[in-house]
Structure 1
């Protein structure tokens, strides 16, 4: 019986994951998989998998049916689907079941469906560091690491087992075989070797709809990069005419207002990198989201600062421009002039939620 249950469960999981793969683009674009449970899983609504069966009506409610009939027409009571008003009905409805998938599984599905190449970390960051911990006991070692309690305990055990221990005159003299020493093991310590800096324009032209696009896309970017590195550090920058480093919750909830100076965000990103993530030790990713509206004189300063300070140190600099009814959308045109000279600069235009899926593939498809 246990084997049958295990086989059925495995088959059910395969069906569920097949459904997730089939509908992945819809899930990505509309954020239906964003209900995290703890740190390791997300809740995914999937339609029930119904086994065909007969359902009997109430006693005396009907007789034998004759005629052609229509596909989907109920048999028995003859009740049709209602509009939700009136007395309670007896017909079953369609329900949604939630299944849980780990973030690692989700990243694997995402990578397969988008055909994302695995990332090759640069430099020494792909190597785990090791730390020695004194957590074992050895029979050899220097006198400075002699474990006196263990040594005398071993000597006591030896004397008791050999019959030489005298409880009236408890003299315990360890010999060489009794000596025990503190020792160590080398424990691999995964390095937090990837730093992601998210930059979002929160000026007056960015609406809640645009920020929702950023939230959904950032979730999937996080999911993929977490699968490629042992550890990921994230920092968040918001800006209007002035940039601020904020926590994750503030990043997604801050209200929009003010003008726009993109260069202020770039300056803040450089400050964070200089303070916490030296380029020779970290794989640095920057994802910027804006509606492309910028104070006219600042655009040239921004692109120059980007070239001189950020593109030199980033594995990947991704700029996603969301469509806004108020933004000019001009900034991406300035960045397109740089594309040919910098392979680590990737640009994407996100007109609506339907564009998130393709934007993620554009950003992560180079495997940098």
Structure 2
């Protein structure tokens, strides 16, 4: 095993020792990752490297013209171009090994596995129709698509249902005192499917010296063995199958509609004066993994970020988590803006919708019951979620989450969670996503 193999092995060990997702979401630096690249720190693993012995000892060499003679001390080896950084101690390279990088799709897969989730996104907008397997059957089509197997089975069923033991019926024609019509009536009683013309023809072919061979039909049945259609086919083979036009079936490919799985996530957060630093951190720690997860799950994910105090306004992602305001709080202003944006840009019949809101549950008087709850009911969505971020527990005037939960908690697409510390974040994410899973 060479040095390069050693390095690869150390890299594998480093990846194995990266923080697990729960630890990363709860305590990790989420800000170091982007929307499409999640960087998860790797616990320290030093990659192998050569280092010079720092002891103040000389060396030996031989040669002329500036080359040390035997026994002559030499100084420390000098770094050559390309040997490393100009500054810093030897062996300090390796920043590229400090993180394990994954895309949102891998993040979603691992979070599914770690939390036991099975969210299956639904496609809404048809983007193309493709031909699948030849599983559909019609009564017409080109000869190349004729389902011969089905045709043969239909003909064979007819053969088995209509076939009869001709020799057995000819023996019945030899019963004394019976004519062709008597034999035909007896055949019907015995459920032998034979026509009267066939019986009349067979009756006329019986030699005179064989008429009256049997005194009755009962005597004939007792002395002549009747064979089944299967027995005759095994004995004589299958000479013909009675096909009919109505038996023809033609195979057509199943038409499959491929639907694009589009999702829009509306993130709403309270930026009023009561939202202090710890509360803002809990919002970021909850919303960021949810963004990554849904990005990884859907073909096309778009995000709308809305901040609000007593009024609401739309912001970019980079601004969303850093905004501060000294104003009051009116949560309904954010839902009014969310409703307008969704109706104008993201029609419900084409987009999966998630509306996530977070704050400290403090709201202006009666705004929750009179405005927010009716607005949530008016906005069609896969899931509405509200995350209460109150470090250390709820405050006396923090009632918004409880009021929403009491009014809409049983509707199936509304979930309320409580995050009082980073340790609650993973449970909150699980509760949100498992509620959608149960839809």
* Bucket of the pairwise TM-score, normalised by the shorter protein: 0.5 to 0.7
Return closer, same or farther for 1:232/1:190 CA change in 2, 3 Å cut-off: farther
TM-score by length of 2: 0.54
State whether structure 2 residue 64 is matched by structure 1 residue 42: no
Q: In 2, distance between residues paired with 1:362 and 1:349?
A: 10
User: Residue 24 of structure 1: CA displacement?
Assistant: 2.5
Moved over 6 A (4+): none
Query: Counterpart of 2:102?
Result: 102
Return closer, same or farther for 1:41/1:339 CA change in 2, 3 Å cut-off: same
TM-score by length of 1: 0.64
Query: Counterpart of 1:317?
Result: 384
Which of 350, 353, 359 is equivalent to 2:422?
353
Query: Counterpart of 2:367?
Result: 298
Is the Cα–Cα contact under 8 Å of residues 31 and 216 in structure 1 kept in the other structure?
no
Q: In 1, distance between residues paired with 2:401 and 2:358?
A: 11
Q: In 2, distance between residues paired with 1:294 and 1:259?
A: 8
Query: Counterpart of 1:25?
Result: 22
Q: In 1, distance between residues paired with 2:29 and 2:111?
A: 14
Query: Counterpart of 1:77?
Result: none
Deviations 1:210-260 (A, max 9, x none): 222222222211111111110101101111111111221222222122111
Q: Match of 1:281, SS?
A: coil
Q: In 1, distance between residues paired with 2:265 and 2:317?
A: 12
Q: Match of 1:121, SS?
A: coil
Return closer, same or farther for 1:338/1:7 CA change in 2, 3 Å cut-off: farther
User: Residue 191 of structure 1: CA displacement?
Assistant: 4.5
Q: In 2, distance between residues paired with 1:246 and 1:236?
A: 6
Give unpaired runs (5+ residues) of structure 1: 61-89, 131-187
Is the Cα–Cα contact under 8 Å of residues 286 and 316 in structure 1 kept in the other structure?
yes
Q: Match of 1:47, SS?
A: coil
Return closer, same or farther for 1:340/1:14 CA change in 2, 3 Å cut-off: same
Q: In 1, distance between residues paired with 2:110 and 2:413?
A: 25
Deviations 1:49-95 (A, max 9, x none): 3699xx999589xxxxxxxxxxxxxxxxxxxxxxxxxxxxx9x99x9
User: Residue 30 of structure 1: CA displacement?
Assistant: 1.9
Return closer, same or farther for 1:337/1:246 CA change in 2, 3 Å cut-off: same
Query: Counterpart of 2:399?
Result: 330
User: Residue 190 of structure 1: CA displacement?
Assistant: 8.4
User: Residue 298 of structure 1: CA displacement?
Assistant: 1.1
Is the Cα–Cα contact under 8 Å of residues 193 and 231 in structure 1 kept in the other structure?
yes
Is the Cα–Cα contact under 8 Å of residues 262 and 298 in structure 1 kept in the other structure?
yes
Q: In 1, distance between residues paired with 2:40 and 2:390?
A: 28
User: Residue 355 of structure 1: CA displacement?
Assistant: 1.5
Q: In 2, distance between residues paired with 1:250 and 1:265?
A: 16
Q: In 2, distance between residues paired with 1:266 and 1:12?
A: 50
Larger Rg: 2
Q: Match of 1:28, SS?
A: helix
Return closer, same or farther for 1:295/1:35 CA change in 2, 3 Å cut-off: same
Return closer, same or farther for 1:193/1:334 CA change in 2, 3 Å cut-off: same
Q: Which has the higher strand share?
A: 1
Q: Match of 1:329, SS?
A: coil
Is the Cα–Cα contact under 8 Å of residues 242 and 261 in structure 1 kept in the other structure?
yes
Q: In 1, distance between residues paired with 2:26 and 2:419?
A: 11
Query: Counterpart of 1:111?
Result: 112
Give unpaired runs (5+ residues) of structure 2: 58-88, 130-256
State whether structure 2 residue 257 is matched by structure 1 residue 259: no
Q: In 1, distance between residues paired with 2:287 and 2:409?
A: 26
Return closer, same or farther for 1:18/1:267 CA change in 2, 3 Å cut-off: same
Q: Match of 1:238, SS?
A: strand
Return closer, same or farther for 1:298/1:33 CA change in 2, 3 Å cut-off: closer
- Describe how 1:209-288 pairs up with structure 2 within 5 A: 209-288=278-357
Q: In 1, distance between residues paired with 2:33 and 2:367?
A: 39
**Could you say what the CA RMSD is over the residues aligned between the two structures, in angstroms?**
3.7
Q: In 2, distance between residues paired with 1:8 and 1:324?
A: 44
Return closer, same or farther for 1:108/1:255 CA change in 2, 3 Å cut-off: same
